Amino acid sequence: MQAQEVLRQLRIPEFDDVRQYMRALPTNALMGVGAFAAITTYWFATRPRALMPPCDLSLQSVELPGEERARRSTLTTDNEYLTHYYSDACTMYEVFHRGMRVSNDGPCLGSRKPNQPYEWQSYSEISTKAEGIGSALLHKGHSQTGDKFIGIFSQNRPEWTIAELACYTYSLVAVPLYDTLGREAIDYVLQQASISTVICDVADKVKMLLENGSMKGGTVKTVVLIEAFDDDLVKQGTEAGIDIKSFKDFEALGHANHQTPQPPKSDDLALICFTSGTTGDSGSVVNLDFSHCFMHNGQGTLKASNKEVLISYLPLAHMFERVVESVVLIHGGRIGYFQGDIRLLMDDLKTLQPTVFPVVPRLLNRMFDKIFSQANTPMKRWLLDFAFRRKEAELRNGVVRQDSLWDKLIFKKVQVGTFCPKKRFMLAYLYRLEF
């Protein structure tokens, strides 16, 4: 009997009972209930929707059959390689020209001088320069069937991409070099790939190679320098049996001896990227064409367009930056290069306002430390840490936005001053972030 009495008291009230109860409430209470109902309805209608990940984040790849222990992305439905994303862009040469078409020959590559805005070159201007450099390479004896490996030893800048496109235009193969390889490793790469032409950005790199003996008696016969150099360097090169030319003069040589483009096929070699070689001599990664899996990953969530603007500062000798740039180019976007000094990167970001910002954990950790170091009182530190944890909780639940309460109160200044308000893609490379 006691159980029945409890159940009777807990029963859902009838509608008439509720109506009588509401009539008995004072006007202020009714207005409060109505306001609460309106706020609750508005919140449910406008609450942020979580982005659904394209795959199970705890299982993003599966092992392929065989003894190589190779893995494939779970975004693909079978064990076949994803060779292209757009049918009219099956090679890196076609990637660039698709970008030229969908952008209506819009701005392509940009650079800036200190305290100056970015200056842009159009897709057609880049293509013309690439044909000039490529024709000069052919004039020097390079060919797809013979001497086809071209070294690029430079920081990120428009000439890097122009030299790379020159290789693609005439079915040659770019071989990036970078400082962190070390002198012995660079010498190893030059000899291993039998590179006879190297395109460098500054004279100091050529001097370093000459003084180290990397080029003396080696395979290198021509060095193309992007920035100015003196007669002493030319003399040093001559003594080592190396012809040193300026990038501008080399391009002019190509235009004077113009060759019809010789585009590659989809299964032709595009680029050889040597690894850092931390356990011995540098290893090489052979690439036919790439970037397609990256675009497959973004379908249905964030789709790239010809409005994208990329800040290029991560080494182009690494595949991560290569893939990101190719994704921007295939959609007709723009690439703005940093000034060459990582300490000026924040200024470049403010000026360029990129929509695509590739990062590595080390950079993000530095930014994190810088931001938290500005919270110079216990109260500010607690408030910033609390806001950070609330944003982190949203991100872990798939909610990505910039209009939350914490964005408006705390992070707006950070987003405008440290990052950039127009960014749509922030890509972190590989390993775990520690906060």
Over range 130-148, report the average pLDDT.
94
User: Rounded CA gap, 229 and 237, in Å?
Assistant: 12
Q: Which tens digits make up the pLDDT trace of 278-314?
A: 444 444 444 444 444 444 444 445 577 888 999 999 9
Q: Among 255-264, 285-294, 317-326, whose mean pLDDT is lowest?
A: 285-294
- Residue 223 near residue 206, CB atoms below 8 Å: yes
Over range 365-379, report the average pLDDT.
83
What is the DSSP pairing of strand 71-73 with strand 61-63? antiparallel
Q: Which is more confident, 219 or 128? A: 128
Q: Which is more confident, 73 or 434? A: 73
> Does 396 have pLDDT greater than 90?
no
Q: Which of 224, 149, 237, 163 is nearest to 194 (CA)?
A: 149
Which of the four pLDDT bands, split at 50, 70 and 90, describes residue 387? confident
Taking each helix axis from N to C end, the angle separating 92-102 and 123-139, rounded to the nearest 10 degrees, works out to: 150
Which of the four pLDDT bands, split at 50, 70 and 90, describes residue 22? low
> Does 359 have pLDDT greater than 90?
no
Which of the four pLDDT bands, split at 50, 70 and 90, describes residue 125? very high
Provide the percentage of residues in the chain whose pLDDT is more than 70.
Answer: 80
> Does 434 have pLDDT greater than 70?
no
Residues forming beta bridges with residue 199, ordered by sequence position: 152, 224
Q: Return the H-helix or E-strand segment holding 250.
A: helix 247-256
Which of the four pLDDT bands, split at 50, 70 and 90, describes residue 98? very high
Where are the domains positioned within the chain?
Answer: 87-289+299-358, 361-428
Amino acid code (one letter) for 117 = P
Provide the percentage of residues in the chain whose pLDDT is more than 90.
Answer: 35
Number of H helices, E strands in the chain: 17, 15
Q: Which tens digits make up the pLDDT trace of 397-425?
A: 888 777 788 888 888 777 665 555 566 66
Q: Among 107-121, 202-216, 337-351, whose mean pLDDT is lowest?
A: 202-216
Over range 200-225, report the average pLDDT.
83
- Residue 204 near residue 176, CB atoms below 8 Å: no
> Does 244 have pLDDT greater than 50?
yes
Q: Which residue reads 């060919």 in tokens?
A: 143
Task: Count other Cβ atoms within 10 Å, centred on residue 338.
Answer: 21
The pLDDT score that the predictor gives to residue 282 is: 46
> Does 164 have pLDDT greater than 90?
yes
Over range 155-160, report the average pLDDT.
95
The pLDDT score that the predictor gives to residue 317 is: 86
Amino acid code (one letter) for 197 = T
φ/ψ of residue 384, rounded to 5: -65, -40
Polymer length in residues for the chain: 435
Please tell me whether residue 104 adopts helix, strand or coil conformation: coil
Q: Which residue reads 């690029």 in tokens?
A: 152
Which of the four pLDDT bands, split at 50, 70 and 90, describes residue 168? very high
The pLDDT score that the predictor gives to residue 181 is: 67
What topology does CATH give the domain 87-289+299-358?
Answer: Rossmann fold (3.40.50)
326: exposed, middle or buried (C-beta count within 10 Å: 0-12, 13-18, 19+)?
buried
Average pLDDT, the chain: 82
> Does 427 have pLDDT greater than 50?
yes
